[in-house]
Amino acid sequence: MVSQTGQRLAQDHAQLDALMKQLQQALKTGDLEAGYTTLDLFWARLAVHIRAEHLHLFPRVLSRLSKRVNQTVGPSPSQAQSIVDELRADHDFFMHKLAGAIDTLRDMTNSDDVAERLKTIRETVIEVEKRLMVHNEIEERQVYGWSTALFDEQEQIELLTLINKELAHYPSRFAFDTWATGTESKGEEPIVR
């Protein structure tokens, strides 16, 4: 069974996936402005999601696994560590690739090889999409599920609260409506940095 934290993060995966589709549509039609805006938003939303995993989920899961005496459920600490290491490497890959694509798109308006550069950006985005799909599946099937077995109800509520807070922190250059595009409003006021 997946914990509430797992459900919340999986819901964020679905929202990022919807945004990825919008991004690909904008790039496909050659709309540079929409492409740039959507890519910038996707990158920022993914960064916030990753930050929540890095700051709260991964350290808690790894720390708890390393302290367990009689292991009955879930991976060994070393198995979990290597899975999380892979996930972190994926995160670095996503941020690096997307940042490069943003830089290219930002400088593109006066370029005479727009079609060629756009093609490269589309290929990069597809590369990110493919790896992200596998990545998200590993998280949803494994790491998100472990938290159910590892934490009691109170700890799970605390973790969910931390994750929700982290996901509500977004860069001030985005208006709330823009940030929430494609998301279900829970009526929570976001915290703007």
Min separation Cβ 56 and Fe ion, Å: 12
Q: How far is the CB of 22 from Fe ion (least distance, A)?
A: 19
The first and second tokens of residue 114, run together, are 């727009």
Query: How far does Cα 125 stand from its chain's mean position?
Result: 14
* Pairs from 105-114 (Cβ < 8 Å, separation ≥ 24): 105/32, 105/35, 105/36, 105/39, 106/36, 108/32, 109/32, 114/30, 114/32
Nearer to Fe ion, 40 or 53 (CB): 53
Q: Point out which span in 47-55, 145-153, 156-164, 174-182 binds Fe ion (CB under 5 A).
A: 47-55
Residue 19 CB, nearest approach to Fe ion (Å): 14
Q: How far, in Å, CA of 65 to CA of 147, rounded?
A: 10
**In this chain, which stretch among 36-44, 45-53, 98-106, 181-189 interacts with Fe ion, using CB under 5 A?**
45-53
Nearest position to Fe ion, beta carbon? 139
Contact between 40 and Fe ion by CB under 5 A: the answer reads no
Site residues for Fe ion, 117-156, by CB under 5 A, read: 139
CB of 114 to Fe ion, least distance (A): 32
Q: Which of 54, 74, 66 is nearest to 142 (CA)?
A: 74
Tokens representing residue 36 in the block? 């740039």
Site residues, Fe ion (CB under 5 A): 53, 139
